[in-house]
Every structure is written in structure tokens, then in C-alpha cells.
Structure 1
Amino acid sequence: MSMKRFTFDSDGVCLSYLDSGVDAPLLLAMHGHFGCARNFSPLAQALAQDYRVVALDQRGHGWSQHPEDCSRSAYVKDVHNLVRHLSPERPLFLLGHSLGGVNAYQFAAQHPAMVSALVVEDIGVHVSPRIGFATDWPHRYASLSDLLELLADRGLSGDRYFLDSVCEYEDGWGFRFNPHWIARSQQAVTGDWSGDWLQLQCPTLLLHGTRSRDMRTEDGQWMRANHPDCTYLEFSAGHTIHDELPDEFGEAVKRFLRAKA
């Protein structure tokens, strides 16, 4: 199944998204910092029979525009504008990983009538990102081999989370993100967002990788205890469960959505 690429205007910022185009209930998926919409292609394939998957290249990522603003309100407004653009007939399903997870639960808290169920992948309510990651990487690489060698040196060889953002430019190979811009975005998402979590009304699936350095187990337990309808699952994985255990991840999401349809 091939997802098609489209764009829309979000208050003057051109954002790109992928759409599976299936005539089925809508699931909107949002990636984390350094990621892109293409990260969710395997999930779209796994859900192809039952759900229309739309994956957003969030501002500053992928094929979307890189504006100056990377505030919390800007990200959440982008979600709102995309939902209005898509005009689903019923409240949608919303899924977010890391940065996308915070954006997802903040949007759901602010717009409860628009979300029927929520999936949050490996992010808590106390966010302390590793600010500065990748800021020492070269801007461009003379060849794809040079870029792949850097990823291998950083222990990221074969990691599609980054490979999905690789692109050839006129002046060499590079990524569809600016690490210095993302450092500002990481700073903006740092904080205690427990107040947003406490406002959630929709059924929620919270997925945690037990080897993750980005979400604490205590956070997951608190989030489960302070949500009236939260399913909490742990996986033997790191931060990117959808990449490390794609089959298990897809099945968990599918079971949850079917139960909450």
C-alpha cells in the first residue's frame, strides 16, 4: 500500500502529510523529534484493512516548512488545523510518539470533542529531552555512504527513524531536519504537563519501552493511575517501539482501536 503526499496551510505555514486514503475511520499519527511522517508507513500497512492513516510531517520536520515558531501552542494549533482540513465525519483516533505524544495528549485535552481515542507512545508528563543531540553532525555529506557511516558511528545504523529523513540536496546529502532548530523545540517541550493529562476524557493507550531513556516507569504508573480509562502496556524496547517491535506495536494499537471503536 502506497501513502500519497499532500500539503495544507496552517496559519501561513505549509505542512506536509501522508494519507493512506482508505475509506475507513481516521487515525492521525505524529512522529517525534528528528522523525517524519514516513516513520508510520509500517503502521499504515498493518492497519490498512480497517483504518485510514494520516501521518503528519510536523513543523520543522520532513517535507514540512521550518518556521521560526516551535512553541507548544504552534504544534497544537497545527493539529487543529489539519483536523479541520481533513474534516472527518466523526471524532478521530489520535496517535503520537515522543514529541508527537505530547502534542497528541495536549490537543486531546484542549479539544475533547474531536478525539474519540488516544494512543501515546513512550513519553510521560515530565519531559526532560536530551537537548543538543545531533547538533555536532555535519550540515551536508559528500555521499550517502558518508552519511550512513556517521549513523553507524553513533549506533544508529539501519535505524529507519533517521533514514526516512535522508535526502539528496544540490550541495550534498543531508537530513530533512535542522538539529539546532530541534534543540529549541526540545527546550520548548521540556516541562511538567501533568495538568494536560488530568484533563483527558477519551480512552487512552499508553505504551512504554522499558529500556527507554525518554520516559520513566514512574511516569507511566502515575499516568495510568490518574486517568479514568487508560490502558498501560510495557514493551521490551527502547524509545521507538514502533521501529523496534513493529508487529507487536501494530497489534497493540489495532486491538485497542477495535475495542474503542
Structure 2
Amino acid sequence: MTQRRRTIIDRDGASLAVTDAGGSGPAVLLLHGLAGSSRELMPTAEALVDRHRVLLLDQRGHGHSTRRPDDLSRNAFVADAVTVIERFAPGERVALVGQSMGAHTAFLLASRRPDLVSLLVMLEGHPAGSSDPQDAADLGAFFASWPLPFADVATARAFLGDSPLSEAWIADLEQTPSGLWPRFDADVMQASITAVHEPRWAEWESLAVPTTVVFAARGMFSAEQQAELAARRPATRILILPEGSHDAHLDAVESWIGALREALA
């Protein structure tokens, strides 16, 4: 296992946790999804360090970064990632890899700053957003329903279940004197995903960097949604994993790593 180093940097009043997972070669920046952290992408990072220098960012409101930042706009998330690239890979165009909300951050950055990006890989990401505000409200309500703090890991698992996604949440719980707490707040997650749900077709259609989108067999997006994404940007390469859910980086790791290696090559 490579030596990891976490650094805390500040941008516009928010602290951002950046992990350098090591490796040598062209830089890759990994961006996790909503209610996640860089921890869940460590297996992905470990699979890449033989050919790449791998950086991971806990996006604002998540992980070891500022829990309740003032700005939860898409612009703020993108600017954070730009700062990481300019700070940790100055003068280099990096490969951007993101899952779900992280994929959304990544393609917006690639659209706005192609000078910083060599290529883009999106896992279960899409520019369409959601026309139903209840989707974000339901997600916020789910996180607010967690009976916090959890007394211990067994209590957390009894509530959350033992799926790969639940295990990722459990692994990321913070031990405090009062019990175990997630490294995010429900209302921050709802506000963050509300911004993601705004359609971003203009940025998608103007995207100039080489782009691969990876969808999983049991993922979030229908065949029609996948087709619209490709039709609106015909240069897009689409890879379909034979297994896995929206969180294929957790429940279809080998298939995901294989697709990612192919895309980066």
C-alpha cells in the first residue's frame, strides 16, 4: 500500500482535505459522490498508483473538509477542485474522475477549465438533473431520519444495513464522546444535491476534453437518459458495466477499475 498524506488547505473560508495517495506519472484527481468522502475511493486510488499520481478531495460539506460551508453552489465545488489542481499539480493537466455528484463537479470543471484537464471519466454522472424538487427533499429526509448518534458500529449497521454503501458510511463515522456521527449534515446534503439537480446541458454540450461516461447495470440512469447524454454530445464514449449499482466503485470494484483503466489509457 502506498503512503498517503492528507493536507488541509483553505479556500474562501472553507477548509478542504486533500489526500495525496502517492504514485508516479500523470496526475489523477478523484471526486466522491454526495454523502461520501475520499475514503470510499481509496480502493480506486490504490489501483491507479502504479501508473499515476493520485489525488483525492473531500468535497466541501463532506469528510474532513468544512462540514457546514457558507457556499454550497456548484461554482464553489468547482472552484475548490480548481484550487486543488493548481496547488498540487501546478502546470499540469490532470485526469478528472468522479462518481455521481463528484462526476457532476468534474464535468463542470472540465467544461470551464479545459486548460487544467487532460481527460474526464464520469461514473454514474449525468448533466440532466431532476425536475422534481421532492427528490432532494426525500434524500435530505432520509439522512435526517438517522437516529444519531449511533452508540456503536453494531447499532449503525442495524439501522443502515450491510450493503457496500452502508459499510462505506459506517467506515466513515466519526467517534465522539457522545457516540458515532456521520461526517456530513442532512440539510447540507439536501442543499448540495438541489444544486446538482439543475440541468447543465449547455456545459455538457460545450465540453471539449476527451470524455468517458461509465454506467452500471443496475445504476440510476435509464437507457433513455444514457442515450440523451450521448446524443447531446456525440463525441462521448460510454462504457456499460455488466454489474453494479449507482455505487459501482463500491459494489462492482473490479469491473469499475477495469473500465477506468481502459478510459485512462
Superposition TM-score, scaled by structure 1 size: 0.92
Is 1:217 the counterpart of 2:258? The answer is no
User: In structure 2, what is the equivalent of residue 64 of structure 1?
Assistant: 65
2:164 and 2:210 map into 1 onto residues whose CA distance is 36
Q: What is the correspondence of 1:112-151 to structure 2 with a 5 Å cutoff? A: 112-128=114-130, 129-130=135-136, 131-132=139-140, 133-151=142-160
Q: Out of 237, 240, 253, which is 2:244 matched to?
A: 237
Q: 1:60-86, CA deviations, whole angstroms, 9 ceiling, x for partnerless residues?
A: 000101213211111111111111111
Is 1:168 the counterpart of 2:175? The answer is yes
Match of 1:177, SS?
coil
> Structure 1 pair 157/204, CA: closer, same or farther in 2 (3 Å)?
closer
Q: Which runs of 5+ in 1 are unaligned?
A: none
Instruction: Provide the aligned C-alpha RMSD in A.
Output: 1.7
Q: 1:11-49, CA deviations, whole angstroms, 9 ceiling, x for partnerless residues?
A: 221110211122221100101111100111111111121
What displacement does 1:228 show?
4.7
Q: Would you say how many aligned residue pairs link Structure 1 and Structure 2?
A: 255
Match of 1:80, SS?
helix
Is 1:203 the counterpart of 2:204? The answer is no
Q: Percent identity?
A: 29
2:254 and 2:215 map into 1 onto residues whose CA distance is 15
What letter matches 2:56 in structure 1? A
2:85 and 2:33 map into 1 onto residues whose CA distance is 19
Match of 1:68, SS?
coil
What letter matches 1:142 in structure 2? A
Check conservation: 1:36, 1:164, Cα contact below 8 A. Answer: no
Check conservation: 1:71, 1:185, Cα contact below 8 A. Answer: yes
1:13 and 1:99 map into 2 onto residues whose CA distance is 19
Check conservation: 2:164, 2:251, Cα contact below 8 A. Answer: no
Q: Out of 99, 102, 109, which is 1:100 matched to?
A: 102
What displacement does 1:59 show?
0.4
1:179 and 1:65 map into 2 onto residues whose CA distance is 14
2:248 and 2:151 map into 1 onto residues whose CA distance is 32
What letter matches 1:10 in structure 2? R
Q: 1:180-206, CA deviations, whole angstroms, 9 ceiling, x for partnerless residues?
A: 210111112112111111111011110
Q: Which runs of 5+ in 2 are unaligned?
A: none
What displacement does 1:218 show?
1.9
